[in-house]
A and B are shown apart, each in its own frame.
Chain A
Amino acid sequence: MTPRWVVIAKVVVWAACLAPFGWLAVRVNFLPELLGANPVEEILDTCGKTALNLLMLTLAVTPIRRSTGINRLLSFRRLLGLFAFFYVVLHFSSYALLDLGLQWGTLLVDITERPYITVGFTALVLLVPLAATSTHALQRRLGRNWVKLHRLVYVVAVLGVVHYWWQVKSKADVGDPLFYAVVLALLFGARLLHYRSVHAKAAVPPANQRVEPPQAHEKPGH
């Protein structure tokens, strides 16, 4: 049986993940003046930043689970990841529909010739197979391959931060993307530490005994 705290936490996480979308929908439909002079920019910013926040949180689940030993946290990873995908799709479709007014030619030129858009679009494309294989059934069926495939999320996170960084107008104004870059570096750092400690435990022969190191028994976690 699912513990009570997990049920409550799931409800809270769902509400928190839907809140930015809900607030956007309320403003678009009922309080347009709160969106300011450039509503499309506000919509794009909200969806883009929420997607990045959720990507970082998704990547934070595993290190937090390892350090706290609360394995139940794993069941939140998929939820957060799928909401990140939701906001990435919303971000892109707002760009194509609301910003460009579905000018397909411009969209194509943007994707192929504007590096920050190329990078952002690549992140979206790479997220599609991850979202498509996120069910428990497919996770079991794909086994090791599922783990390998889902390592793409690291690439997506890096591309997301680069996408944000490359559109800053003044070089001195990289504060916000820098914040995400630092968070991402910390998340990578936590994984590196874990990987090294696992290897150290698995294979540290005394220096005076020349033996072949054993094959890695434990695979680095996701």
Chain B
Amino acid sequence: MSRRKLLAGAVAAGLLPSILSSVEAATIPANGEFTGITKWPDSTTDKVNSLEHIAGYNNYYEFGTDKADPARYAHTLKTKPWSVQVTGAAARTGTYTLEDILAPHSLQERIYRHRCVEAWSMVIPWDGFPLADLIKRFEPTSAAKYVQFFTLADPEQMPGVRRGYLEWPYREGLTIEEAMHPLTFVAVGIYGKVLPNQNGAPLRTVIPWKYGFKSTKSIVRIHFTEQRPQTSWNMAAPTEYGFYSNVNPEVDHPRWSQATEKRLGAGTSIFQLSAARIPTLMFNGYTEQVADLYRGLDLVKNY
């Protein structure tokens, strides 16, 4: 076991105060600006969307179903103090403060394509760390075949939770292989700044080859399980939203085509708007990295 892992384990177990763990430790900065972020070499070179668009056009039904609702109402979300419960098939279950969660990780900027199931897309510079690095600290057992994530569901802070848009708390799930994949990311920032509440502060998952709803915002619980976990959109409309929900231009949503997508932020002239529809790529363009996860799986049946 490396020194770093040992320290991480010790911190996770509460044996060491997190401040001692590492000089490059990630913390939520008081001024909102992260420092010491390294750049991931494989970031997409597509034109990045503005923070205004990324933080102004969101699906976060806990704050309302209009795309502008989250930006309007998410200021009531209290991200401090924050803790995450770890439950199920893992050796180190328990409640971790956000500081504990972040401490051993150094931050990296990754520019990923973000494809919504509604057939629009953006390009987003996330700041965070691989989910695998976090999961290893909890030491999942061999029974941990799946990982389930839960979003906070507090009707006091989240007006949408008072209405039955979905089964609350919002829950999503991945196979353990998907969760441990090097592309699967935990984001705590965008553009080097602390995540805006409407983007899932203080921490969220990002799975760039899946439709956006597969990622979980404002995570309060991570559960390791042997059974395939429930996922909110699948519970709401099982024929429209499957467990895998990989971006796939060949498998249409029952109500619309997934063959193309509208890339947002292209400009508003008639020419720019009409040219903004681009072909959707298999696995959102990450086929080379993730195709092995699904070898032999019928992706039409397992949508």
Q: Using CB atoms and an 8 Å cutoff, list the residues of chain A in contact with chain B.
A: 28, 32-33, 35-41, 97-103, 106, 109-110, 114-116, 166-167, 169-173
Contacts and interface: CB of A to CB of B under 8 A. Distances in A.
Contacts of A169: 65, 118
Contacts of B257: 106, 109-110, 114
A38 B265 CA distance: 7
A171 B241 CA distance: 14
B184 interface: no
Interface in B157-188: 163-166
Contacts of B164: 172
Contacts of A116: 255
25 contacts: A36-B53, A36-B67, A37-B52, A37-B56, A37-B67, A37-B265, A38-B264, A39-B268, A97-B274, A101-B276, A102-B274, A106-B257, A106-B260, A109-B257, A110-B256, A116-B255, A166-B255, A169-B65, A169-B118, A170-B61, A170-B165, A172-B163, A172-B165, A172-B166, A173-B65
Contact of A37 (B49, B61, B259, B260): B49
B68 interface: yes
Interface string B37-67: 0000000000001001110110001000101
A170 B65 contact: yes
A116 B52 CA distance: 32
A108 B120 CA distance: 20
Interface string B234-247: 00110000000000
Interface string B206-243: 00000000000000000000000000000011000000
Nearest to B253: A114
Contact of A36 (B56, B259, B262): B56
Contact of B255 (A35, A109, A167): A167
A35 B53 contact: no
Contacts, number: 76
A173 B277 CA distance: 27
Contacts of B267: 32
B270 interface: yes
Contacts of A114: 255-257
B89 interface: no
Interface in B235-291: 236-237, 255-257, 259-260, 262, 264-265, 267-268, 270, 273-277
B246 to A, nearest CB: 19
A53 B264 CA distance: 28
Given A32-B268, A37-B67, 19 more contacts: A32-B267, A35-B268, A36-B53, A36-B68, A37-B53, A37-B54, A37-B264, A38-B57, A38-B67, A38-B264, A40-B273, A40-B276, A97-B270, A98-B274, A99-B262, A106-B260, A110-B257, A114-B256, A172-B165
Contacts of B270: 97-98
A38 B120 contact: yes
A36 B57 contact: yes
Contact of B236 (A38, A40, A41, A170): A170
Contacts of A97: 270, 274
B11 interface: no
Nearest to A100: B277
Contacts of A171: 236-237
Contact of B273 (A36, A98, A115): A98
Nearest to A167: B255
A103 B277 contact: yes
Contacts of A40: 262, 273, 276
